[in-house]
Structure 1
Amino acid sequence: MLAILTIVALCTRFYKINEPDEVVFDEVHFGKFASYYIRGTYFFDVHPPLAKMMLGAMGYFIGYDGHFLFENIGDNYITNNVPYIGLRALPAFLGAMTVPIVYMTMREAGYPVITCALAGFFITFDNMLVTQTRLILLDSMLVFFMVCSIYSYVRFYKTRNNPFSARWWAWLLATGVSIALTTSVKMVGLFTVATVGVAVVWDLWVLLDIRRRLTMQEFMNHFWARALGLIVLPAVIYLFWFYVHFAVLTRSGPGDDFMSTEFQETLLGNTMADGLFIKYGDNITIRHKDTAVYLHSHPHNYPRVYDDGRISSAGQQVTGYAHADPNNVWHVASGDPNDSKTGQEVKHKDVIRLLHVTTSSWLLAHDVASPTMTTNEEITTYSTEEDGSRYNETTFQIMLESGGNKLRTMASTFKLIHVDTKVAIWTHSQKLPDWGFEQQEVNGNKNIIQKSTLWWSDNIEGTDPAEVQAEEVKPVKKRSFFLKFIELQGKMFSHNAGLTGKHPYQSQPIEWPFLTKGISFWTQDSTRKQIYLLGNPLGMWIAAGSLAVIVGVAGADILSRRRGFYPLDQGVQKRFYYATGFFFVGWALHYFPFFLMGRALFLHHYMPAQVFSYIILAAVHAFMFTEGVDGPISEPGPEVRPRRLQRAVVPALAYISAAVLAAIHLGSFLYFAPLSYGTSALDVPALARRKLLPQWEFHFAK
């Protein structure tokens, strides 16, 4: 049975894996990252590096040179000479291997063969698991390492009566390695850590029972062994993959802008190391870090009265302009009227003034509302021909955020804090009306902590090339691995939390078990083929029902026992709570945390929980249709290999019901397979028949 399921799983994943021969959905990201690894070019991603490095290594071993950058969905692999089948083969193989691991997990948990086969069958013929694992994506690795973690922990738990034996240590360490690999693929691997953690805490609680006759020293030995195997070892492995990540990606690349100046200076070819120190008296250009526009002014004024009736100062406009222009140049002057400091280097916390060169006017902030935001201050300029009564309104303190203690072109990011009113010079993507030539508004932001108030200087006007050559040649700098690791972790978390933009195919966690919305992965207009990500509708809906059964049975059992009734046999009850309950905890911990996330979410985020739901469905079938089999989890005892498990008498009804479930699941899979594989086109009536829910947005359906 194990061999048959494995072969069938391989067939479902590798069936016409060469189609489509175009970039599909998020292959634009993860295929590109594999190319960057082969090139050694630094990039930034919100996920840990392991799965992307695996794809890069796969490409390297099959002779791929990383020349293709997967720019657009629909780009042709064959035309661009990309060995895409080899790249897809890795996630497809691991996706197929998930099936035998699940089968063996159920078998080790003491379930009969029919139950194990059902769990493997459900996963083999789930449309989402098939689609997602036969493309250049990360979820195949995530789910594979997750089920390896669960399998390893079940094997470890079975050795509990032989603590500290070689086999006990082997499976403890295997669990630690597996959860480390899971977390090293995606941060949601922490949900797997939590699943194992709950089981470990329960296990330690049981060991603490005085009836176990363990001394406190013996208990602490158990505690420290688990801490070593399940905390220290995974942490070291997690760090190791980032060490490899930094060691491979040594060249400047598209990920530079996400990192600090100090980080960027460790990369070959990065321009940060070429920056010149800015001195008082220099004429410079200043750019906004987030939107890259220049700080700009021109001889045009704000309107005296805005469209909403508000009054402005009618001063000279200060805007954000996207193109190089003489009006982008500012002269750096000292904020101290008694000391010009000409020729001295500008340092952190210096007070400066900025003179707009072409209009001879000083940058100024004052307590007048900005054109588009009444809460922020207007930024304007103040002519040098006027009297000096507004001198204090033209002074700004420069606060360096990176690049050392002195202001440098390219290398330093800084804030300009108005000395008088304590606002930061800021711009945002909103455009001014026609009177502002549709350039970006620049205003004074009271939230000076906000990261979007950062600027940098890219050029010193009139710099003599000989002076640049005379500057000391700056070699690539070294930086502590732990400083780079901590910085990257912070960027990953903050950027992930910031993925709040709307997407037409995003969905909410409450929708996932019921499959109310899918994702369009790929379409081809010429052939009318498409890939639309859906789970197996009937299988997922039945699995969702099995989750309700678990809650209902547990609630009824607890209430009954409270009143002195014992409806479940002791062996059945133990299996229900220790095995099925463990899998239910795994489902819950891989599902409910998504309700707390503010970022955009998609159906494929349900994949790990979906695997648990199919395991639970098989377990519920066993609970309903087979006798309880005394297995190694239901009762304490020495480890027993599956072939030595006591064979149970499985009622004929169990086989019949299993066959019915399998037939429903397989039929549903085959019915939606054309949308899962994208290998054949469906006409409009066929698409209409498959549109079971109105939210499913199939292409070519009208």
Structure 2
Amino acid sequence: MSTPPPVRQRQTNGPKKGGKPLANGNALTNGHANANEAVEQMKQAGKDAVQRDWDYKLALTVITVLAFVTRFWGITHPNQVVFDEVHFGKFASYYLQRTYFFDVHPPFGKLLFAFAGWLVGYDGAFLFENIGDSYITNRVPYVAYRSMPALMGSLTVSVVFWIMWESGYSLPACIVAASIVLFDNAHVGQTRLILLDATLVLFMALSVLAYIRFYKLRHEPFGRKWWKWLLLTGICMSCVISTKYVGAFTFFSIGVPVIIDLWDLLDINRKQGALSLPDFGKHFGARVIGLIVVPFMMYLFWFQVHFAILSRSGPGDDFMTPEFQATLADNIMTQQAVGIDYFDNIAMKHKETKVYLHSHPDKYPLRYDDGRISSQGQQVTGYPHNDTNNLWQVIPSQPMEGLGHRVHNGDVVRFRHLVTDTWLLTHDVASPSMPTNQEFTTVAAEDANGPRYNDTLFEIRIENGKPGQDFTTMASHFKLVHFPTKVALWTTHTMPALPDWGYKQAEINGNKNLLQASNLWYVEEIPGIPADSPRLLKQEKKVKTMPFLKKYLELQRAMFYHNNALTSSHPYASFPIQWPFLLRGVSFWTENDTKQQIYFLGNPIGWWFASSILAVFGGILLADQVSVRRGVDALDTRTRLRLYNSTGFFFLLWAAHYLPFFIMGRQLFLHHYLPAHLASALVAGAVVEFIFNIEPADVAQLADAQFHEAAKGSTQTQAEQSDDHALQRKPIRERVAGQSLLATWAASGVIVAALVWGFWFFAPLTYGRPGLSVEQVNARKWLNYDLHFAK
């Protein structure tokens, strides 16, 4: 593109004043024309801005209405429990019953469901036990429950449009980005059911919006609006991580630009003027308060609400320590606890795997499959069923006269296996399947009371127990530590662990890591105590208290442990590499009689388009960097800043919510990609504008180029051409801008039309009706989706 020559005033050969030529009339007229044109342009710009605001508001209204229609249409169907509603509906009922439960997710999203049930006066009697259970028969206000995520899912579409609007993108770009979420079957399907993802995605989007509004006020720091949007950013981020721990990805997404912004503020050569270190400290402190302290306090607040509501014993008790359980009313473990005396016969049960410490006369084989030699001692295993071979007599390590002596925390004891009359022992011999752990076995009395006496000594360490505390059934979770070698009684967590010679029972061995939480056992019962024994008399026990932070930290440890333990296979689990290409979905619900099904699947048109745009964006950045390094500056400053700062921020948002899943070992499903998909929609809208929309500066340059191209070969002088250019450039610019806008609208229209068609085509799988014929089901198996009723 050639650069137009500069506009110069024509000089005349007429009379001079003071030795200088006078400007002719044409030049004066041209100057007035330019001034008047500038004023008119300013007026027109103001009118255009007002018109644009109305256009954006009208589009936002239409998109919001469509979002509510797509999310709420047919929300009563099916009137049965669908997929993970068995979990989150059940948790809402537990809240309403105030019954303690355990879940790997933080409480905020579940509390919202409980709030919805409370608003309609539901008592939580239904526990959502099985997929397919009838809501109508059980009189469950399931529409109220489902309306909560549907409302949030609808508002998410509006927030996506608002993010693009606040970021300064054109109306077609805003519509494209919002439509990718609006007409997406996965977002619609996930937000019409009692699931947490609607809450997660909405507050993730609100966090982005609030941060953009805050960043736009960076030149007006510490004002009321500046503080408002800073605090709203932190509050929204807190709601994200208070719903699911993947909300940490949102903290990272916003934390990166915040750190970059602070780094710029530290620059002494910044254009807006250098900040003193005290002023920089104020900026730093404000962000720490708004984006770390306030979110963390809100995060703790939801756990405080969680503990305050769940005051009664429930199914979550087993995940917590006896000390925690003592804070719950009606706790069976606390009420049924019986003190254990020496010479009692007890059955010990592993806390996590629920297997009993068991032994039988069979021996370990002489040689294992890997060639290692065993002790050929009597097998000690973990057995999942109640049996007389699970009984062990507690024997004091020192002679003791009479009965009725209580066992205490820290006591060193011995255990005699009742059925085989042998004594529990561990020694420096490798266990059957874990060479790093010690073998457990039993030996005859002559060895146990003779040369192998020390090998039969075990110390009882009650978890969080006080010195000398009574050792009781149920309530005392303990580690049984071998006194000479300091290994803890432990069992492998995979059943079966032993081959046929061990009857495929769980392996018992000695764990050298004493701190491991999976070393815990408890005594389930003491058979043989007379019914009239004073030991069985129960006194009414008061509910104990426990500091909030101690309860919080204990629950956090349990949540993280069990979340990481979700590694078992699932028929609908998928890998992150499959998500952007929508290679498979998840079956949520089926009904054989009507051939209806709900299959969780995104809109393939939208997902493939958004994923391809991500690649296009990467190519644009690469091409720009190569061009700059070769001395070709193809982009103006404004376009490049938007491309790297705004669109780049959206791309960071996508990467931060997607790439970490590659290093996770837990079960993963397609719904984990929904936050990243929303970010890819923002990138798609921005790149569509970059490709099709021409910036105002470029419009002026193209208009000038068109005029000078048309003026080639003209007999006019350069000054005369300049006069004509001043008069003609407005209509030329308007025509070029109009052509650019038309191209953008045309491209956006084609994209939205394709999205609508894809959404409509897969809608029967999203809404669960109507039922499809075999031919119609097979027509929708684009990538061999494992749909039902395909035969």
Task: Please indicate, yes or no, whether the TM-score normalized by the shorter chain is above 0.5.
Answer: yes
Give the aligned residue type for 1:202: I
Equivalent in 454, 462, 466 of residue 520 of structure 2:
454
3-state DSSP class of the match of 1:590?
A: helix
Question: Equivalents in 1 of 2:687, 2:364: separation in Å?
Answer: 72
Query: Given the alignment of the two structures, is residue 417 of structure 1 paired with residue 506 of structure 2, yes or no?
Result: no
Q: How does 1:272-291 map to 2 (within 5 A)?
A: 272-274=333-335, 275-291=337-353
Contact 2:364/2:379 (CA < 8 Å) preserved in 1?
no
Deviation sequence 1:317-353 (CA, Å, 0-9, x none): 43333343444332211223x5569644333332211
CA deviation digits over 1:367-394, x for unaligned, max 9?
A: 5565666665543333336673332232
Q: CA deviation at 1:152?
A: 1.0
Distance 1:353 1:610, change over 3 A: same
Question: Which amino acid in 2 is paired with 1:220?
Answer: G
- The structure-2 alpha-carbon separation of the partners of 1:169 and 1:327, relative to structure 1 and needing over 3 Å to count, comes to same
Question: Which structure 2 residue ranges, 5 or more long, are not aligned?
Answer: 1-58, 698-736
Match of 2:452, SS? helix
Larger CA deviation: 516-525 vs 270-279:
270-279
Q: Give the aligned partner of residue 102 of structure 2.
A: 44
SS at match of 2:489: strand
Q: Contact 1:333–1:340 (CA<8 Å) still a contact in 2?
A: no
1:318-329 maps to which residues of 2 (within 5 A)?
318-329=380-391
CA 1:391–1:76: 2 relative to 1, 3 Å: same
Q: Which residue of 1 aligns with 2:82?
A: 24
Match for 2:621 among 554, 559, 563?
554
Task: Give the aligned partner of residue 143 of structure 2.
Answer: 85
Q: Report whether the alignment pairs 1:573 with 2:640.
A: yes
Q: Which residue of 1 aligns with 2:412?
A: 351
CA distance in structure 2 between the aligned counterparts of 1:626 and 1:686, rounded to whole angstroms? 40
Deviation at 1:560, TM superposition (A): 2.3
CA–CA distance in 2 between the matches of 1:193 and 1:403? 38
Q: Does 1:148 align with 2:212?
A: no
2:393 alignment partner, one of 331, 338, 343: 331
**Which residue in the other structure is 1:670 paired with?**
760
* Equivalent residue, structure 2, for 1:127: 185
Kindly state the Cα deviation for residue 469 of structure 1 after the two structures are TM-superposed: 5.8
Counterpart of 2:328 in structure 1 is 267
Query: Structure 1 stretch 414-423 or stretch 209-218: which is displaced more?
Result: 414-423
Rate the CA distance shift 1:204–1:303 in 2: closer, same or farther, 3 A. closer
CA–CA separation in structure 1 for the residues paired with 2:201 and 2:759: 20
Output the amino acid matched with 2:323.
Answer: E
1:227-626 pair list within 5 angstroms = 227-274=288-335, 275-298=337-360, 300-302=361-363, 315-336=377-398, 343-367=404-428, 370=431, 376-384=437-445, 388-405=450-467, 406=469, 407-428=471-492, 429-430=495-496, 439-463=505-529, 465-468=532-535, 473-626=540-693
Are 2:700 and 1:700 equivalent residues in the alignment?
no
What are the Cα deviations for residues 508-549 of structure 1, in whole angstroms up to 9, with x where unaligned?
Answer: 112111111211111122222111111111111111111112
1:660 corresponds to 2:750: yes
Partners of 2:653 and 2:661 lie apart in 1 by 14
- Once residues 678 and 262 of structure 1 are traced to their aligned partners in structure 2, the CA distance between those partners, rounded to angstroms, is 47
Cα 1:281–1:513 change in 2 (3 A) is: same
Cα RMSD for the two superposed structures: 2.5
TM-score, normalising length: structure 2? 0.82
Aligned residue for 2:717? none
Pairwise CA distance, 1:590: 0.9
2:171 equivalent to 1:113 = yes
Tell me what 2:258 maps to. 200
Matched, 1:136 2:194: yes
Q: Partners in 1 of 2:300 and 2:696 — Cα distance?
A: 42
> Following the alignment from structure 2 to structure 1, what is the Cα–Cα distance between the partners of residues 331 and 583?
47
CA–CA separation in structure 2 for the residues paired with 1:372 and 1:226 = 53
Provide the rounded CA distance (Å) in 2 between the counterparts of 1:196 and 1:142: 16
The aligned residue for residue 12 of structure 1 is 70
C-alpha distance in structure 1 between counterparts of 2:298 and 2:111, whole Å:
14
Residue in 1 that maps onto 2:127: 69
CA distance in 1, matches of 2:476, 2:433: 29
* Letter paired with 1:597: M
Q: Which amino acid aligns with 2:758?
A: S
Superimposed CA distance per residue, residues 221-243 of structure 1 (whole angstroms, 9 cap, x where no aligned partner): 11111111111111111111110
Return the offset for 1:311. 6.8
Contact 1:13 1:130 in 2 (8 A): yes
Instruction: Supply the distance in 2 between the matched residues of 1:95 and 1:160 (Cα, whole angstroms).
Output: 30
User: In the TM superposition, what is the alpha-carbon distance from 1:217 to its structure 2 partner?
Assistant: 1.7
Aligned length: 683
For each residue in 1:189-238, what CA deviation from the matched residue of structure 2 results, as whole angstroms up to 9, or x when unmatched? 11111111112112222222223322222221111111111111111111
Shift of 1:471: 6.1
Q: Does 1:683 align with 2:773?
A: yes
Q: Per-residue displacement from partner, 1:264-306 (whole Å, max 9, x unpaired)?
A: 11111113333233232333221121222322334x3327657
Instruction: Work out whether residues 34 and 56 of structure 1, in 8 Å CA contact, stay in contact via their aligned partners in 2.
Output: yes
**Which ranges in structure 1 are unaligned for 5 or more consecutive residues?**
631-647
Q: Quote the residue 2:33 is aligned against.
A: none
The alignment partner of 1:74 has SS state of coil
**2:228 matched to 1:170?**
yes
Q: CA deviation at 1:591?
A: 1.0
Structure 2 SS opposite 1:355: strand
CA distance in 2, matches of 1:232, 1:73: 41
Instruction: Give how far 1:454 is off.
Output: 2.0
Single out whichever of 321-330 and 657-666 deviates more from structure 2. Answer: 321-330
Q: Given that residues 172 and 230 in structure 1 are in contact (C-alpha distance below 8 angstroms), is that contact kept between their aligned partners in structure 2?
A: yes
Distance apart, 1:562 and its partner CA: 3.1
SS in 1 for 2:70: helix
Shift of 1:134: 0.6
Match of 1:379, SS state, is strand
Contact 1:404 1:412 in 2 (8 A): no
Rate the CA distance shift 1:404–1:123 in 2: closer, same or farther, 3 A.
Answer: same
- 1:258 offset after TM fit, Å? 1.2
Letter in 2 for 1:693: L
- Contact 1:17–1:85 at 8 Å: present in 2 too? yes
Residue 596 of structure 1 deviates from its aligned partner by 1.9
- How far did 1:94 drift? 0.6
Residues 280 and 341, structure 1, Cα contact 8 Å, conserved in 2: no
> Aligned letter for 1:398?
I
Tell me, yes or no, if the aligned pair for 2:409 and 2:465 is still in contact at 8 Å: no
Shift, 1:133, TM fit: 0.6
Q: Is the 8 A contact 1:177 1:237 kept in 2?
A: yes
Counterpart of 1:653 in structure 2: which amino acid?
A
Q: Distance in 1 between matches of 2:297 and 2:606?
A: 39
Alpha carbons 1:295, 1:318 under 8 Å: kept: yes
1:477 partner amino acid:
K
Indicate the larger mover: 128-137 or 354-363. Answer: 354-363
Q: Report deviation, 1:59.
A: 0.8
Distance 2:169 2:523 in 1: 66
Aligned residue for 1:636?
A: none
Residue identity over aligned pairs, in percent, reads 51
What SS class does the counterpart of residue 782 from structure 2 fall into?
A: coil
For the residues of structure 2 that align with 1:310 and 1:549, how far apart are their CA atoms? 58
Question: For the Cα contact (< 8 Å) 1:302–1:312, is it kept in 2?
Answer: no
Moved more, 83-92 or 515-524: 515-524
